[in-house]
Amino acid sequence: MPKLCLYVDARFTSPYAMSAFVALTEKELAFEVMTMDLASGKNLEAGYAATSKTSRVPTLVHDGFSLSESSAIDEYIDEVFSGTPLYPKSVQDRARARQIQAWLRSDLMPIRQERSTEVIFYKPTNTPLSASAQTAAKKLFFVADSLLQPGAVNLFGEWCIADVDLALMLNRLVLNGDAVPQPLANYAKHQWQRPSVQLWVNQKRPVV
């Protein structure tokens, strides 16, 4: 069995580490989880920086090959290992899934700032969304609604890793008690119950 190690943040709150963790879990692979204390800058130390290349989490190490950036890790895992497909079969659907992942990692910054994943994995906030965050939320709802068929619980008919990423972005709002259109809230809640996702959700986290 190839040796696999996934470096994640010590608080288990990184949405990107979660994506890679779920990808490995869906493939039913045995892997070791190593935590990095980002608050104390452990990810910037020379040893980890040399391994990660980008000094970020997650980083996957597979038989001496190391790779960071979660979407790259997800694609690598899907190409190297058999088991549950992480991406759709259709070339166009796969491209769309990658588009969704790239968009979620590069846009909607006001939501990411005002509804960090701390509100999901630690404690919700009662601070109202700013005007810019409300605008970002409207954009999120518009895009998600355009991607999902009415009543659908998956983006492409069957589960894929982009479902995890989209559901997490929606759950920044849903699980904080912010207003989210009911069909999108139902989709996010359904995705959250997937066993691989719940395994991440139920990780033991340090008290802060």
pLDDT score at 70: 96
pLDDT score at 1: 45
* Dist. CA 175–CA 115, nearest whole Å: 10
* Dist. CA 158–CA 161, nearest whole Å: 10
- The token pair at 197 is 């996702």
CB neighbour list of residue 164: distance below 8 Å, 6 or more residues apart? 18, 19, 22, 191, 194, 197
* Dist. CA 155–CA 103, nearest whole Å: 15
pLDDT tens sequence across 62-90: 999 999 999 999 999 999 999 999 999 99
* Dist. CA 163–CA 113, nearest whole Å: 21
Cis before 85 (ω within 30): no
pLDDT score at 55: 83
Strand order in the sheet with 4-9: 32-36, 4-9, 59-62, 65-68
* Dist. CA 47–CA 181, nearest whole Å: 45
Please give the distance of CA 138 from its chain centroid, rounded to a whole number.
20
CB atoms within 10 A of CB 96: 18
pLDDT tens sequence across 141-177: 999 999 999 999 999 999 999 999 999 999 999 999 9
pLDDT score at 77: 98
Please tell me the pTM assigned to this model.
0.95
Q: Which domains does the chain have, with CATH numbers?
A: 4-85 (3.40.30.10), 91-195 (1.20.1050.10)
Query: Where does the pLDDT of residue 13 fall: very low under 50, low under 70, confident under 90, or very high at 90 and above?
Result: very high
Q: In terms of DSSP bridges, do strands 59-62 and 65-68 run parallel, antiparallel, or are they unpaired?
A: antiparallel
25-36: average pLDDT: 96
Place of tokens 């970002």: 136
Q: Which of 84, 86, 76 is nearest to 165 (CA)?
A: 86
Percent pLDDT > 70 in the chain is 99
pLDDT score at 43: 85
Predicted confidence (pLDDT) at residue 2 exceeds the cutoff of 70: no
